[in-house]
Structure formats: C-alpha cells, structure tokens
C-alpha cells in the first residue's frame, strides 16, 4: 500500500457499515510519493467499531488529480464510486467509475467521459428501476460559455443507458447561459421513480446565484421546484450531500448563504448555514439558520443526515473570523423537529420597502408592530454596516454614507430571530 496522504483535500464521506460492522469512508487526499509525484488520489478508509483505523487503500491512477467524487454502498455490499480526473497541463478531464469490494479491490472499472470540458460529479444513488442515477455538472468554456447539470442512468457495469439535461429554472424566460441547476448537483431518487435535484443556478451571469431544488420525473422534466433566495448575492447547496429524506417522507435541505467563489476554507467573510424542512411537494415546513453574520463565523455545510427521531444532523466546518489566523475546525450540529421555526403562508412581515433602488435611504412599512427589534444592513460580502433599534410599524432608515451597490436588509425580533430578509439597492 502507498504511504498515507499528507492531508485530506475535501470532506470525508461516510458511506456506512460493511457486513462485519466496520465503518467505510472515503475522501480525496494529497499524495506526495517518489513514484507518484504530487497529485490527488482517492483514499478508501475502514474503521473498526471503536473508530480505530484498520486500513486505507489508494484508488485511482498515479499522476492524475482527482477533484470531484461520490460513492455509495450498493445492495450487493460493494462500493460504487465515480470520480473526475484532471490533467491540467493537457486540459484533459475524464470521468471514471469503479466498483470496489470493501477492502478496496476493483471489480469493474469504466471511463465514462474524456474531453476538454470540465465536469464535476457529486451524486450517485440507486434508482428504484435497478439502475444507478448520477448527478453531474458541466462547464464548457468555449466560444459561448455554458454550464448546467445532467441526470445520467448507469447500468450495473457502468455503461451509460441515458442522459438527461436538467431544465432551466425559469421555464418562461430561459437564458442560454447558466440557467439550469449546476454544481454541486445532487440527484435523490424517490420511491415513485421521480427525482429531487438540487444545485446552484445563475439568474444572471454576474450576480444573484440562489440555490434550487427541482422535483422532476425520471427524465428530469420539472414538475415543481423550490428556490431559496437569501438576502446575499451568492448561495450554494451543501457541498457533498445537501438533501436527505426523513422517515415520514419529508425533506431536509442545507445550503450556504454568502458563498464566495471557491473559498471553502479561507473566505474572509461570515456566512450562514440555512436548513430548510420541506414536504414532498416542496412546500416549506420550517427553517433553522446558523448565522455567522451575528458572531463573525465562516460556516461551510458538507452533509445533512436525517435521524430516526425525525431530526437532522448537519456536518461541516467553521472558522472564527474574529480570531486572527484561526484554523478551520470540523463542526456538527443536531436539530430536532421542534428547532425549526414554522413558516406561515403569510409570513412576510414587510408590506413595502421603498424607494428601491434608493439614494439617501429607505422606508419600511410593516404588517404588525415590532418592539425591541433590530434592523441590520450587510453588504454582499456579509459585513455588518448598520445595526439600529426597531420599535414600531413604520420606519425610515437613512443611508447617506453607504456606497452604491446591493445590500441585505435583515429584521430581527428582540431575541435575535430573523423575521424577514430582503434586498435593497442604493443608487
């Protein structure tokens, strides 16, 4: 076995137990070896019941960087894995698949894709029809740049049966650029054979990138969808597993608000982790927000896992921005059903925010009086620029010293709970 990696380059994905009760997990790691060079290889880990490491096997070919990957334990207790390999010097990107035993020995391998376009595979699961369904994103940086996502059905030997492009989020006004769900894509099969597909999409090329869930048929035609607009400019679903079904058929969905490009660890701006509880028709039942803008914390969600009691585990990392040079630390939280704030159909508190855009400030007209609350303004990097008391039903907020741009307006009650978030543009 090659020497263990010097460090893990992405989140460790826990797959489950083998027949002997050992835990199986995998992650890409940076490999520095005289025979291998300096590249990224997959590492398949096996841990005993007391979490002692039993072994770690390297997967993939030396000299190739592995960037995106996903896997699950199949019904025959073998591991099904798909990953991308990148040869940046030759601008060659490949998509490869493996079927592995629990010890890491390969049974079946297949190259699924070989081309110039960069792809990202982030989801693989069993479909009720007996095939595997894979979620992947693509980016073609040719003369006309495009980006989007696919749902691909694979046979037992990983041969491709069919591929369906994910449909635009705005079906009435589709854009030729970046309009469909894209990285990180998760395709979650439902017992009915339909799909839930989550990803980020771009309302326009430069700004306004919300997270979306599409409920589709088996061919990825949209039945209904849920778009969560946070007050920030850039949001993204949890990196590895953003959705998980609860025992009652409802859905937990995790997203990161105020994502900054690829700065998963070193972003200088605070962020939020927003967990949404939805029913099978994608109606919102409740929300919970871990709000790093309150205490200057940068959060990144990696996984959500529903629990037998009807709650959910949220796994990720966080970094204390108020402490210079603070390292990123692993982070896990458990939420029960009672933690989620119920969402009413008439939950919007603000009747009117005007003028929007404005020059010197804005007015807020509320449905009901708020006592001992707060109004906060953040810029699109998450920096708090204004924090003032709110008592009343109508209020004017002057902003003479703010620069031209887009801002997040947050209204909180006396306990600090978010009542509503909106966007306001200053001319």
The structure tokens 């995998």 sit at 26
Query: What integer pLDDT is reported at residue 66 of this predicted model?
Result: 72
Residue 226 has pLDDT above 50, yes or no: yes
Residue 40, phi then psi, degrees to nearest 5 = -115, 125
Per-residue pLDDT reduced to its tens digit, 118-166: 567 889 999 999 999 999 887 554 444 456 788 999 998 888 899 998 9
Residue 345 has pLDDT above 50, yes or no: no
**pLDDT band of 73, cuts 50, 70, 90:** confident
- Residue 68: which of 123, 107, 116 has the closest Cα? 123
Per-residue pLDDT reduced to its tens digit, 17-28: 766 666 777 665
Residue 11 has pLDDT above 90, yes or no: no
Residue 204 has pLDDT above 90, yes or no: no
Give a three-class secondary structure readout of the chain.
CCCCCCEECCCCEEEEECCCCCEEEEEEEEEEECCCEEEEEEEEEEECCCCCEEEEEEECCCCCEEEEEEEEECCCCCEEEEEEEEECCCCEEEEEEEEECCCCCEEEEEEEEEECCEEEEEEEEECCCCCEEEEEEEEECCCCCEEEEEEEEECCCCCEEEEEECCCCCCCCCCCCCCCCEEEEEEEECCCCCEEEEEECCCCCCCCECEEEEEECCCCCEEEEEEECCCCCEEEECCCECEEECCCCCEEEEEEECCCCCCCCCCCCCCEEEEEEECCCCCEEEEEEEEHHHHCEEEEEEEEEECCCCCEEEEEEEEECCCCCCCCEEEEEEECHHHCEECCCCCCCEEEEECCCECCEEEEEEEEEEEEEEEEEEECCCCEEEEEEEEEEEEEEECCCCCCEEEEEEEECCCCCEEEEEEEEEC
Domains for the chain: give ranges and CATH numbers. 7-342 (2.120.10.10), 350-426 (2.60.40.3580)
Candidate ranges 208-217, 280-289, 346-355; pick with highest mean pLDDT: 208-217
- CA distance linking residue 202 with residue 204, whole number of Å: 5
Which is it for the CA torsion 223, 229, 235, 238, positive or negative?
negative
Q: Provide the whole-model pTM.
A: 0.75
Residue 343 has pLDDT above 50, yes or no: no
Q: How confident is the prediction for the chain on average, in pLDDT?
A: 79
């Amino acid at each position: 076995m090659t020497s263990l990696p010097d460090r893990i380059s992405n989140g460790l994905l826990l797959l489950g137990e083998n027949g002997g009760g050992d835990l199986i997990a995998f992650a890409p790691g940076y490999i520095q070896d005289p025979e291998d060079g300096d590249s990224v290889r997959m590492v398949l880990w096996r841990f005993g019941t007391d979490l002692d490491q039993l072994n770690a096997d390297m997967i993939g070919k030396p000299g190739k960087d592995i960037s995106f990957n996903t896997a699950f334990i199949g019904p025959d207790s073998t591991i099904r894995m798909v990953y991308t390999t990148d040869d940046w010097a030759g601008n060659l990107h490949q998509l490869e698949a493996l079927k592995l035993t629990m010890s890491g020995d390969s049974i079946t391998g297949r190259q699924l894709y070989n081309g110039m376009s960069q792809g990202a595979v982030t989801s693989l699961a069993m479909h009720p029809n007996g095939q595997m369904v894979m979620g992947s994103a693509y980016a073609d940086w040719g003369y006309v740049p495009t980006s989007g996502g696919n749902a691909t059905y694979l046979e037992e030997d990983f041969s491709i049966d069919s591929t369906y492009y994910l449909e635009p989020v705005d079906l009435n006004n589709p854009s030729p650029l970046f309009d469909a769900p894209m990285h990180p894509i998760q395709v979650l099969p439902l017992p009915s054979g339909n799909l839930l597909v989550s990803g980020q999409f771009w309302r326009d090329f430069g700004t306004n990138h919300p997270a979306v869930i599409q409920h589709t048929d088996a061919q990825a035609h949209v039945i209904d969808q849920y778009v969560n607009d946070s007050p920030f400019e850039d949001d993204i679903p949890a990196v590895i597993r953003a959705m998980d079904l609860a025992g009652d058929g409802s859905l937990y969905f995790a997203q990161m608000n105020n994502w900054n490009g690829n700065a998963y660890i070193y972003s200088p701006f605070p962020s939020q982790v927003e967990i949404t509880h939805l029913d099978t028709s994608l109606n919102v039942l409740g929300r919970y927000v871990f709000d790093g803008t309150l205490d200057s914390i940068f959060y990144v969600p990696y996984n959500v896992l529903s629990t037998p009691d009807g709650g959910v585990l949220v796994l990720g990392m966080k970094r204390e921005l108020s402490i210079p040079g603070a390292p990123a630390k692993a982070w896990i939280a458990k939420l029960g059903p009672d933690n989620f704030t119920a969402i009413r159909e008439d939950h919007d508190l603000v009747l009117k925010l005007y003028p929007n855009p404005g020059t010197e400030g804005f007015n807020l007209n509320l449905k009901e009086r708020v006592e001992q609350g707060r109004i906060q303004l953040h810029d699109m990097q998450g920096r708090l620029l204004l924090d003032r008391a709110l008592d009343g039903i109508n209020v004017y907020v002057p902003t003479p010293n703010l620069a031209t741009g887009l801002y997040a307006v947050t209204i909180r009650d006396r306990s600090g709970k978010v009542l509503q978030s909106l966007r306001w543009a200053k001319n």
